[in-house]
């Protein structure tokens, strides 16, 4: 290289200026029109004042100098990058150090130490990272990238989750947020299951890296599923609640995760219902927002459930209601050694020996086999063509799907998984449960639309006013003041005088533009998740509904479940 030329160039440019121009030259495609002026524009965007007087001519001179001096070109950079990644992978070296989300606690710097190497997954690849932890001598907290440990308990905070690109909640694996978003969007828009998502991901990743015969650095569907549940548990909790920190399982044990989530279910469900029932205060869907409740059942996702059909649930208004037991039956089948790698459906019985109904109780009902018995009539209403029979398959009980209530504007307000059949008292139980979670009844509509509104009406009014078996609480009296209508789709199958007149929504011209088939439309969306919904255990399936509806509502009302926190309705 000509040393004189080099000295001349360095009189005109600093080395850093040349490196910036070289980077732009390598990353801006050669075929782009008017390339120099684009480089100049980007240069001025990126740089401080000292490069403000650059001109196209100066850019051209810099490009010439770079060429002459033989800087790294695009292909060489790419080759070097591949070389580095291959080396790091083959030597199992860490690409990046993942540090605690805070550096200082109790006024002094944390004591840093290297914890372990983990595998991180991003949208196209996996790589190794080193987890650093920081220890505070003062308060004895141990900080990691997304959580801290205090008294052997693990907590996450807004701060620890919100701003982080990598989410690490313990164990040997972490996930970049871009991948978590891809997964959630694939579930929402492509109806992906965890099994097919991981297959697609691993296949793509391995074919890109010529790593076809190695399972190393592959996603595992069960781990990904557990992570997705845990991550949504965290973001969901911060979305609705105003707590500063949240306890998460201290280990990556599946049972611990399910048990901890289960403890929080009632509260999470209440926050969900209260927020969305009053969503108009934060986001109006337009002039038809929150005009009426629309309710429907979705019977297709039926799981095998415990055969204790007599199990009941107590409700303040209705008393004991027979709802059955939604737990997974405890069949005596041999489980494989490593249960965590099994698909949950493997636990279903496969031969006739298991058809014995006594073996199909859940573990809890087996140890407590004397349920309270409630006399409850099954209503078969042939007049209105409503089929409401309990479902038994080969002597085993299958669940009846879900009943849920939406607003006409497309927001899901609450749901209840049904174990037996869609009896009118189950619908009433669902509505009472829902109303109890809403903190301001004066802010919600007094209109319910349901395909069996006539039977609910007769059942409810008779027991509230004549038999007095329904307790006239504030909620019961609220429902008493509501109008009940049959949805337009099912109106034609109803022929009783009451159905044609009092329960007929067409007698209400003011509700003419209220969408009464919003649930049917949502059912056809839910149908895409049948495979998943039929295979979850009882505990998981209610969370899957909750998270799905949460993501759906957020999408419909332009909230970002990743970004929004503390969405208080009051």
Residue by residue, DSSP assigns 27-41 as HS-TT-TTHHHHHHH
The distance of closest approach from Cβ of residue 364 to Zn ion in the complex, given in angstroms and rounded to an integer, is 5
8 Å CB contact between 25 and 59: no
The distance of closest approach from Cβ of residue 262 to Zn ion in the complex, given in angstroms and rounded to an integer, is 15
Distance, CA of 453 to CA of 360 (rounded, Å): 34
Toward Zn ion, which CB reaches closer, 224 or 486?
486
Q: Looking at residues 470 to 499 of the shown chain, list those that interact with Zn ion (rule: CB under 5 A).
A: 494, 499
Candidate ranges 18-26, 135-143, 208-216, 235-243; the one touching Zn ion (CB under 5 A) = 135-143
Toward Zn ion, which CB reaches closer, 58 or 494?
494
| Three-class secondary structure assignment of 239-306 | HHCCCCEEEECCCCCHHHHHHHHHHHHHHHHHHHHHHHHCHHHCCCCCCCCCCCEEEEEECCCCCEEC
Distance, CA of 483 to CA of 491 (rounded, Å): 16
CA angle 8, 12, 15 (to 5 degrees): 95
Candidate ranges 334-342, 358-366, 367-375, 559-567; the one touching Zn ion (CB under 5 A) = 358-366
290 dihedral zone (left: phi>0; alpha: psi -120 to 50; beta): left
The distance of closest approach from Cβ of residue 366 to Zn ion in the complex, given in angstroms and rounded to an integer, is 8
Among 139, 259, 320, 443, binds Zn ion (CB under 5 A): 139
Distance, CA of 175 to CA of 186 (rounded, Å): 16
Candidate ranges 130-138, 180-188, 203-211, 241-249; the one touching Zn ion (CB under 5 A) = 130-138
8 Å CB contact between 557 and 410: no
Cβ neighbours around 243 below 10 Å, total: 12
Q: Please state the φ and ψ torsions of residue 524, each to the nearest 5 degrees.
A: -70, -25
Toward Zn ion, which CB reaches closer, 139 or 477?
139
Candidate ranges 89-97, 191-199, 305-313, 420-428; the one touching Zn ion (CB under 5 A) = 305-313
8 Å CB contact between 262 and 539: yes
Candidate ranges 41-49, 160-168, 284-292, 436-444; the one touching Zn ion (CB under 5 A) = 284-292
Q: Looking at residues 498 to 557 of the shown chain, list those that interact with Zn ion (rule: CB under 5 A).
A: 499
The distance of closest approach from Cβ of residue 426 to Zn ion in the complex, given in angstroms and rounded to an integer, is 17
SS3 313: strand
Q: How many residues contact Zn ion, by CB under 5 A? A: 18
Toward Zn ion, which CB reaches closer, 11 or 287?
287
Toward Zn ion, which CB reaches closer, 106 or 355?
106
The distance of closest approach from Cβ of residue 279 to Zn ion in the complex, given in angstroms and rounded to an integer, is 6
Distance, CA of 449 to CA of 517 (rounded, Å): 9
CA–CA distances in Å: residue 268 to residues 232, 273, 407, 437, 546: 12, 9, 20, 11, 9
Q: Is 105 in the site for Zn ion (CB under 5 A)?
A: yes
Q: Looking at residues 237 to 256 of the shown chain, list those that interact with Zn ion (rule: CB under 5 A).
A: none
Toward Zn ion, which CB reaches closer, 47 or 517?
517
Question: Nearest-CA neighbor of 360 among 320, 422, 305, 301?
Answer: 305
Toward Zn ion, which CB reaches closer, 109 or 527?
109
The distance of closest approach from Cβ of residue 557 to Zn ion in the complex, given in angstroms and rounded to an integer, is 7
Candidate ranges 119-127, 278-286, 456-464, 539-547; the one touching Zn ion (CB under 5 A) = 278-286
Q: Is 106 in the site for Zn ion (CB under 5 A)?
A: yes
Q: Is 454 in the site for Zn ion (CB under 5 A)?
A: yes
User: x/- contact string, 309-328, with Zn ion (CB under 5 A)?
Assistant: ----------------x-x-
Name the burial class of residue 106, with classes exposed (0-12), middle (13-18) and buried (19+) by CB atoms within 10 angstroms of its CB: exposed
Length of the chain: 570
Toward Zn ion, which CB reaches closer, 129 or 403?
403
Q: Is 289 in the site for Zn ion (CB under 5 A)?
A: yes
Toward Zn ion, which CB reaches closer, 97 or 106?
106
Distance, CA of 150 to CA of 172 (rounded, Å): 20
Toward Zn ion, which CB reaches closer, 38 or 282?
282
Toward Zn ion, which CB reaches closer, 138 or 266?
138
Q: Looking at residues 200 to 229 of the shown chain, list those that interact with Zn ion (rule: CB under 5 A).
A: none
Residue by residue, DSSP assigns 439-468 as S-GGGS-SEEEETTHHHHHHHHHIIIIIS-
Toward Zn ion, which CB reaches closer, 384 or 548?
384
Through-space distance between the first and last CA atoms of the chain, rounded to whole angstroms: 72
8 Å CB contact between 120 and 166: yes
SS3 326: coil
Distance, CA of 77 to CA of 564 (rounded, Å): 39
The distance of closest approach from Cβ of residue 322 to Zn ion in the complex, given in angstroms and rounded to an integer, is 13
Among 59, 62, 285, 360, binds Zn ion (CB under 5 A): 285
Among 9, 306, 484, 548, binds Zn ion (CB under 5 A): 306
Q: Please state the φ and ψ torsions of residue 253, each to the nearest 5 degrees.
A: -75, 130
Among 131, 136, 397, 476, binds Zn ion (CB under 5 A): 136
Q: Is 355 in the site for Zn ion (CB under 5 A)?
A: no
Q: Is 362 in the site for Zn ion (CB under 5 A)?
A: yes
Residues that bind Zn ion (CB under 5 A): 105-106, 136, 138-139, 285, 289, 306, 308, 325, 327, 362, 365, 384, 409, 454, 494, 499
């Amino acid at each position: 290289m000509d040393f004189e030329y080099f000295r001349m160039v360095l009189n005109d440019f600093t080395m850093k200026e040349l490196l910036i121009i070289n980077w732009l030259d390598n990353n801006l495609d050669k075929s782009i029109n008017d390339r120099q002026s684009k480089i100049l524009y980007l240069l001025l965007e990126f740089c401080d004042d000292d490069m403000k007087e650059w001109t196209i001519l100066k850019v051209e001179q810099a490009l010439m100098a770079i060429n002459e001096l033989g800087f790294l070109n695009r292909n060489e950079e790419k080759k070097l990058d591949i070389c580095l990644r291959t080396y790091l992978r083959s030597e199992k070296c860490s690409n990046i150090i993942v540090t605690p989300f805070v550096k200082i606690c109790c006024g002094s710097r944390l004591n840093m130490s290297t914890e372990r190497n983990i595998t991180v997954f991003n949208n196209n690849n996996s790589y190794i990272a080193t987890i650093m932890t920081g220890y505070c001598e003062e308060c004895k907290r141990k900080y990691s990238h997304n959580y801290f440990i205090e008294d052997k308990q693990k907590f996450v905070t807004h701060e620890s989750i919100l701003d982080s690109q990598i989410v690490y909640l313990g164990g040997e694996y972490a996930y970049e947020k871009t991948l978590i978003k891809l997964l959630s969007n694939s579930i929402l828009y492509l109806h992906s299951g965890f099994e097919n998502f991981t297959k697609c991901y691993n296949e793509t990743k391995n074919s890109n890296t010529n790593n076809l015969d190695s399972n190393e650095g592959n996603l595992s569907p069960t781990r990904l599923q557990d992570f997705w549940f845990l991550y949504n548990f965290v973001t969901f909790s911060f979305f609705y609640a105003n707590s500063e920190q949240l306890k998460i399982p201290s280990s990556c044990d599946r049972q611990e995760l399910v048990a901890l989530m289960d403890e929080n279910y009632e509260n999470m469900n209440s926050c969900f219902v209260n927020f969305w029932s009053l969503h108009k205060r934060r986001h109006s869907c337009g002039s038809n927002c929150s005009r009426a409740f629309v309710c429907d059942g979705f019977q297709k996702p039926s799981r095998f459930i415990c055969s204790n059909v007599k199990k009941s649930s107590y409700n303040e208004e209705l008393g004991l209601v027979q709802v059955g037991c939604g737990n997974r039956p405890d069949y005596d089948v041999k489980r494989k050694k490593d249960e965590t790698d099994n698909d949950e459906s493997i636990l279903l019985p496969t031969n006739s020996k298991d058809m014995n109904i006594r073996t199909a109780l859940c573990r809890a009902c087996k140890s407590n086999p004397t349920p309270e018995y409630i006399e409850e009539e099954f209503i078969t209403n042939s007049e209105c063509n409503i089929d409401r029979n309990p479902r038994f398959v080969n002597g085993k009980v299958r669940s009846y799907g879900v009943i849920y209530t939406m607003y006409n504007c497309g927001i899901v307000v609450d749901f209840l998984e049904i174990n037996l059949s869609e009896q009118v008292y189950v619908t009433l139980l669902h509505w009472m449960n829902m109303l109890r979670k809403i903190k301001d009844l004066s802010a919600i509509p007094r209109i319910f639309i349901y395909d069996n509104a006539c039977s609910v009406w007769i059942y409810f009014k008779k027991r509230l006013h004549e038999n007095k078996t329904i307790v006239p609480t504030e909620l019961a009296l609220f429902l008493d003041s509501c109008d009940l209508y049959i949805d337009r789709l099912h109106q034609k199958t109803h022929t009783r005088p009451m159905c044609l007149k009092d329960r007929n929504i067409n007698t209400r011209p003011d509700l003419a533009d209220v969408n009464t088939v919003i649930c049917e439309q949502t059912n056809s969306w839910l149908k895409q998740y049948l495979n998943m919904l039929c295979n979850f255990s009882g505990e998981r399936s209610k969370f899957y509904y909750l998270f799905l509806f949460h993501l759906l509502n957020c999408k419909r009302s332009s909230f970002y479940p990743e970004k929004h926190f503390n969405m208080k309705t009051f």
